[in-house]
Structure 1
Amino acid sequence: MTRLSVNINKIATLRNSRGGNNPDLIQVALDCERFGAEGITVHPRPDERHIRYSDVYALKKVIQTEFNIEGNPLEEKFVELVLDVMPEQVTLVPDALGQITSNHGWDTIKHQDLLIRLIAPFKAAGIRTSIFVDPILEMVEAAKSTGADRIELYTEPFAEEFPNDPTKSVASYRKAAFRAHQIGLGVNAGHDLSLENLAFFNANVQPLDEVSIGHALICDALYYGLENTIQLYKRQLI
């Protein structure tokens, strides 16, 4: 069964909007685990506008499931953080400074040598390394030779096309996941996955190791409550 990792960036955004510690990010992470999440994801950015670097250290002390840290490995501070914290997984994302949210995967062909160099210290430390890619077969194939253990398929294009043509929306992702499995890469997915499209994506894109979901899940929790929402998302992954 596909694992659910809850991205708690939006909890940090809410906390930071008023200062103080409400909501308590650490308690929310623990509650997510208690409610059934199989992992916690954070994406610290240089301006610390949501997850702070201090949050990452605090979370590492208490998380009992799998800790996934996302970020741009071109930022020296990010690399130092990951190697210091030693999460179970690091996901490398080609974000620009000030970018609101991730909006594309790596060009694993053009940046092959760079990715090999960036991934090496994480692999040497024994941290499972995933790289964010678009569902393009050539990018998936080139990801293998970077030394990555997994890819994370960038799913915003799927989510945008899904209401219009579900079959078309998922076609490239099905092919990408199948090819990744053939060449020995694990497959994660994330971005704009929701209760509306997750079950369809999971049923059609296999094998799928993990989905990382934050924005939609936290928005749904405003209506359904956090515990119920996590269970609703897990049901989509059966």
Structure 2
Amino acid sequence: MTKLSVNINKIATIRNARGANNPDVVKVALDAERFGAQGITVHPRPDERHIRYDDVLALHQVVTTEFNIEGYPDKRYMELVRLTKPAQATLVPDPPEAITSNTGWDTIAHQALLKDIIAELHEYGVRTSIFINPESRYFEPAKNTGTDRVELYTEPYASHYHQDRDAAVRPYVEVAKLARELGLGLNAGHDLDLHNLAFLKQQIPWLDEVSIGHALICDALYYGLENTIQMYRRQLEL
């Protein structure tokens, strides 16, 4: 079964636009779990433009599904993970000014860095995942870091899905098979939506988890949060 982790960053963006606590990020996370989310994902950034570090501290007290904290592993991120000990830490190579994640790790150039960070995260009892491009050359070096999982960066798949979905998914199937051969768990995320999610899952049925935020929250404006989460869950069960 592929789990659906709901990224609630956009909820925090809406809240921050007015400076009060509406919508309440913690309540939305709890409601999302009640509506069928099998995990909650957050990606705190140094400028706290959406999820704040205090949000992460509050969420870890109440989230009962898998709590996943994404981020660049600087000192503040590592301290946050040490304090909260989430189910999963997803490492992304984003610089602080990035609007959103836009590439995966070069696990060749950064293998030593990642290996040290992952060893520290394992000391905290936290499962690790590395955000990675669908290029086979990065997978064995990823395995050598000691990571538990990799997360496929799926924006290129989503961008080309409507032009030629078979061609778009092909490199992902190839590296997914390689990940399985290497004994790596497999997550996926970025620009997955109600149009392209089911096909990705059908082609890679051993996906462990997808993390979806922007598209899901946009759909919730029309369909409602509870219905939307159930719609995404159904896409993973087709």
- TM class by shorter chain equals over 0.9
Task: Provide the aligned length of Structure 1 versus Structure 2.
Answer: 237
Q: What corresponds to 1:3 in structure 2?
A: 3
1:89-100 correspondence runs (5 A): 89-100=88-99
Is residue 177–residue 206 contact of structure 1 (8 Å, CA) maintained in 2?
no
2:186 maps to 1:187? yes
Q: Which moved more, 1:177-186 or 1:213-222?
A: 177-186
**Helix, strand or coil for the counterpart of 2:61?**
helix
Unaligned runs of 5+ in 1: none
The CA distance in 2 between the partners of 1:136 and 1:123, in whole Å, is 26
**1:87-109: CA deviation from partner (whole Å, max 9, x where unpaired):** 00000000012100000000011
CA RMSD, Structure 1 to Structure 2 (Å): 0.6
Superposed displacement of residue 29, structure 1: 0.2
The CA distance in 2 between the partners of 1:85 and 1:125, in whole Å, is 9
2:118 maps to 1:119? yes
Q: What corresponds to 1:16 in structure 2?
A: 16
Is residue 104–residue 133 contact of structure 1 (8 Å, CA) maintained in 2?
yes
The CA distance in 1 between the partners of 2:182 and 2:100, in whole Å, is 29
Q: What corresponds to 1:85 in structure 2?
A: 84
The CA distance in 1 between the partners of 2:205 and 2:147, in whole Å, is 19
**1:23-59: CA deviation from partner (whole Å, max 9, x where unpaired):** 0111100000000000000000000000000000100
**1:108-135: CA deviation from partner (whole Å, max 9, x where unpaired):** 1111111111211101111000000001
Is residue 131–residue 151 contact of structure 1 (8 Å, CA) maintained in 2?
yes
Unaligned runs of 5+ in 2: none
Q: What corresponds to 1:158 in structure 2?
A: 157
2:171 maps to 1:172? yes
Q: What corresponds to 1:53 in structure 2?
A: 53
The CA distance in 2 between the partners of 1:70 and 1:6, in whole Å, is 12
Is residue 7–residue 214 contact of structure 1 (8 Å, CA) maintained in 2?
yes
The CA distance in 1 between the partners of 2:66 and 2:96, in whole Å, is 27
Q: Which moved more, 1:209-218 or 1:113-122?
A: 113-122
Q: Which moved more, 1:175-184 or 1:218-227?
A: 175-184
Superposed displacement of residue 205, structure 1: 1.8
Is residue 170–residue 205 contact of structure 1 (8 Å, CA) maintained in 2?
no
Q: What corresponds to 1:213 in structure 2?
A: 212
Same amino acid, percent of matched pairs = 63
**Helix, strand or coil for the counterpart of 2:60?**
helix
TM-score of the aligned structures, taking structure 1 as reference length:
0.99
The CA distance in 1 between the partners of 2:204 and 2:168, in whole Å, is 11
2:229 maps to 1:230? yes
The CA distance in 1 between the partners of 2:113 and 2:219, in whole Å, is 38
1:102-117 correspondence runs (5 A): 102-117=101-116
TM-score of the aligned structures, taking structure 2 as reference length:
0.99
Residue identity in the other structure for 2:11: I
Is residue 178–residue 206 contact of structure 1 (8 Å, CA) maintained in 2?
no
The CA distance in 2 between the partners of 1:177 and 1:236, in whole Å, is 19
Is residue 174–residue 206 contact of structure 1 (8 Å, CA) maintained in 2?
no
Structure 1 stretches of 4+ moved >2 Å: none
The CA distance in 2 between the partners of 1:112 and 1:121, in whole Å, is 14
Is residue 193–residue 213 contact of structure 1 (8 Å, CA) maintained in 2?
yes
Residue identity in the other structure for 1:41: T
Superposed displacement of residue 206, structure 1: 3.3
Q: What corresponds to 2:134 in structure 1?
A: 135
